[in-house]
Every structure is written in C-alpha cells, then in structure tokens.
C-alpha cells in the first residue's frame, strides 16, 4: 500500500441502490414529433397501405379522408406511366377546390414500380410533377414486396421519413 494517497473504505453493496441525488436537469433533446397524414392513392396499387404501415398515419385507400382523419394529405402514385398520369389531375383537383373542405395537400409520394433507373420519358414526367408540388420518392424495397415491413424506411426516402417523423 502506498502512503500519502487518500484511501476510502471499500464498500460492497448488494441489492437495489437508492435513487441518485437530484442534480441539474438534463437538457431537453429536440425530437421531431411524428406528424399524422392521410395517405391517398391516386390509383389502385399505389402503395398507400404499405406507406401508412411504415410511416404511420391514416390509410385512406383511394378515398378522401373522413371527418375524424388527419386533414393533411399525401397523394401516392407508382412511377409507371399510368400511375404518373393520375397525379396531375389529383393535384389540380386540390387547386380548383374540388376536394372536401379542410383538406390540405402536403405533397406527392412516388413509389418505385420496379428496381433500377427510370426510363427517360418517365423521369421527364416526374420533373413536370416536381414543378407543381413537393415530391417525395420511395425506392424499390424488395422486403416490402414480400410483406416484410419491419426495419427502418430506406435511406433514399429520408425526406419523407423526416416529414412524417418516422425517422431514418
């Protein structure tokens, strides 16, 4: 044993230990609260049910949200030609006031219809839609096709995850 060093008693505690002495409060961490949306498909098979399961919110299918549902709407379409053809008329319906009173269009979610890059004509259509409204892209997710919705949303869908508060 060295001399000159301060030594304290060795105490071994078994069992629960009392609550620590209160100290200064910990700083509040900013955490984005999940925002609720109603997902509305512009055509059948757009992916509304999957997106609602992954990101939260109300699955409206192809119908407008009801009175008790979130009033913020995200339109959903696939990136194939017929899916993209349904987006502009749906956006225009909002602009003309042809949707139920109180609904607000927050953006369009385009879900990849196949893996890989889009053909140039489809990319041009998407650029046109992006000139009208905010567009959130969701890549092809093989696990979703098999029904596995566990895990985090894909990294490429980060902007959508931040919007909905579902995290990435």
Dump pLDDT digits (tens) for 84-105.
Answer: 999 999 999 999 999 999 999 9
Write down the domain spans for the chain.
58-164
Round to whole Å and give the CA distance between 40 and 72: 10
Tokens found for residue 23: 């100290």
What's residue 12's pLDDT? 44
Whether 11 has a pLDDT exceeding 70, the answer reads no
Which has more confidence, 53 or 8?
53
Round to whole Å and give the CA distance between 127 and 32: 29
Mean pLDDT of 7-21: 45
What's residue 141's pLDDT? 92
Best CA proximity match to 136, nearest among 70, 74, 58: 74
Sole residue written with tokens 């001399």? 3
Whether 147 has a pLDDT exceeding 80, the answer reads yes
For all residues of the chain together, what is the average pLDDT? 84
Best CA proximity match to 111, nearest among 47, 58, 154: 47
Whether 14 has a pLDDT exceeding 90, the answer reads no
Whether the Cβ atoms of residue 47 and residue 111 lie closer than 8 Å to each other = yes
Which has more confidence, 24 or 19?
24
Residues of the chain with pLDDT > 90, as a percent, come to 70
Round to whole Å and give the CA distance between 77 and 69: 20
Round to whole Å and give the CA distance between 48 and 73: 12
> How many CB atoms within 10 Å of residue 108?
25
Tokens found for residue 82: 């017929």
pLDDT band at 135 (very low <50, low <70, confident <90, very high): very high
């Amino acid at each position: 044993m060295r001399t000159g060093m301060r030594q304290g008693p060795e105490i071994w505690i078994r069992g629960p230990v009392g609550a620590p002495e209160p100290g200064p409060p910990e700083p509040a961490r900013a955490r984005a609260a999940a925002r609720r949306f109603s997902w509305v498909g512009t055509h059948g098979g757009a992916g509304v049910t999957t997106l609602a399961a992954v990101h939260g919110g109300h699955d409206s299918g192809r119908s407008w949200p009801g009175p008790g549902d979130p009033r913020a709407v995200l339109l959903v379409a696939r990136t194939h030609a017929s899916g993209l053809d349904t987006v502009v008329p749906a956006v225009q319906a909002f602009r003309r006031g042809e949707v139920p009173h109180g609904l607000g269009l927050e953006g369009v979610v385009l879900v990849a219809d196949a893996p890989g890059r889009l053909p140039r004509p489809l990319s041009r259509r998407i650029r046109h839609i992006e000139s009208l409204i905010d567009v959130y892209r969701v890549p092809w997710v093989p696990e979703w096709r098999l029904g596995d919705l566990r895990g985090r949303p894909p990294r490429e869908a980060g902007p959508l995850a931040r919007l909905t508060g579902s995290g990435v």
